[in-house]
Amino acid sequence: MSRPVQYNTTVKFEGIPEGYMGEGFMASNMEKIVGLARKNSIWPLPFATSCCGIEFMATAASHYDLARFGAERMSFSPRQCDVLLVMGTISKKMGPVLRQVYLQMAEPRWVIAVGACASSGGIFDTYSVLQGIDQVIPVDVYVPGCPPRPEAMLDGFMKVQELVHNESLRRRHSDQYRDLLAEYGIE
pLDDT single digits (tens) 168-178: 888 888 888 88
The pTM of the full predicted model, rounded to 2 decimals, is: 0.83
Residue at 171 is within a domain: no
User: How many separate domains does the chain show?
Assistant: 1
* Residue 122 CB neighbour total at 10 angstroms: 19
Q: What is the mean pLDDT of residues 156-166?
A: 92
- Give the Cα separation of 86 and 48 in Å (integer): 6
What is the residue range of 96's domain? 38-165
Tell me the pLDDT band of 4, cut-offs 50, 70 and 90. low
Residue at 111 is within a domain: yes
Q: In whole numbers, what is the pLDDT of the chain averaged over residues?
A: 87
Residue at 6 is within a domain: no
Beta-bridge partners for 111: 84
- Give the Cα separation of 166 and 139 in Å (integer): 17
Instruction: Please name the residues in contact with 53: beta carbons below 8 A apart, sequence gap of 6 or more.
Output: 46, 87, 88
Residue with the bigger pLDDT between 1 and 113: it is 113
Beta-bridge partners for 91: 129
Residue at 149 is within a domain: yes
Residues of the chain with pLDDT > 90, as a percent, come to 44
Q: What is the mean pLDDT of residues 56-66?
A: 89
Of the candidates 140, 168, 143, 170, the residue with the CA atom closest to the CA atom of residue 154:
143
Tell me what pLDDT residue 111 has.
95
Residue at 179 is within a domain: no
* Strand spans (E) along 10-76: 19-22, 25-28, 44-48
Residue at 17 is within a domain: no
Residue at 32 is within a domain: no
CATH value at residue 68:
3.40.50.12280
Residue at 160 is within a domain: yes
